[in-house]
Structure 1
Amino acid sequence: MLGYITIGANDLDALSEFYDSLFAEINVKRIMPGSEEHGYVVWAKDETATGFSIIRPFNGEPATAGNGNMAAISAGTPELVKALYHKALETGGRCEGQPGDRGNGFYAAYFRDPEGNKLNAYCMTTNP
């Protein structure tokens, strides 16, 4: 349903390094490398998959994390959920909820990137 999701970035280079490291855990790569000059970077499994992008705000104002906004990353297995969570914490993110079963087979971990954007890594472990 979604083509891509975009979040704001103040330090494009530092946040790009965070997401390069995080997405490497699930074999996701940059599909639009962008640059500081262009002001954006996009990652996805391939050019036809849903993308995740960071961008400097067009209006030149500082990027801020949205209250109530969250991007969810499909990890596939509890082991990959844990790997993403730990990689996020190792590379400057902070915990918003340790990996675990949230009910009905929904296994998830919650964290924020270095700029405060909330993310979730998840997988389904059983059919509800």
Structure 2
Amino acid sequence: MIGYIMIGTNDLPRATAFYDEVLRPLGAKHGLSSHRMQSYNLGGGAALGVCLPYDGRTATHGNGNMYALMALSQDLVREVHALAIAAGGQCEGPPGLRREAVTANFYGSYFRDLDGNKVCVFTRS
């Protein structure tokens, strides 16, 4: 159902470098790009993009908003989380099983990117 998600940034080169590093283990490649945005995808389906706000105002994160990226294994969840923290992201929850999750076997990690956007990387395996 999701076509794409856009994440606002105030520094596109910095955000692109961050997401290049963090999304690499998940197999994401550059998709559409322009002077104000860079998108990522797996060769089809939903995409994730980082962009400068169209209205020219400052990009801000929303409290309660979160973007969840699916990984194929717990090892990948741990790798992506470690890369995010090493690239300057802030930990919002280390990798682990989430007993409070709605579905069984939900293994996830949480971090904020360089602009404060909250991201989850998870697997159900």
TM-score band, normalised by shorter chain: over 0.9
Residue deviations 1:36-89, cap 9 Å, x none?
xx301100011x221000111111110001111000010111000000100000
Q: TM-score, normalised by structure 2?
A: 0.94
**1:40–1:49 distance in 2 versus 1, CA, 3 Å:** same
SS at match of 1:25: helix
1:7 shift after superposition: 1.0
Match of residue 42 from structure 1 = 39
Please give the alpha-carbon distance, in whole angstroms, between the structure 2 residues aligned to 1:18 and 1:85. Answer: 12
Residue in structure 2 matched with residue 88 of structure 1 by the alignment:
84
Q: Which runs of 4+ in 1 moved over 4 A?
A: none
What is the correspondence of 1:1-128 to structure 2 with a 5 Å cutoff?
A: 1-34=1-34, 38-46=35-43, 48-103=44-99, 104-125=104-125
Q: Secondary structure at the match of 1:61?
A: coil
> How many residue pairs were aligned?
121
How far apart in 1 are the matches of 2:42 and 2:9?
A: 21
Matched residue type, 1:50: A
Task: Give how far 1:33 is off.
Answer: 3.1
Query: What amino acid does structure 2 have at the position aligned with 1:5?
Result: I
Q: Partner of 1:111: helix, strand, or coil?
A: strand
Which residue identity lines up with residue 29 of structure 1 in the other structure? K
Query: Any gaps of 5 or more consecutive residues in structure 2?
Result: none
Q: Deviation at 1:31?
A: 1.1
Instruction: Give the superposed CA RMSD.
Output: 0.8
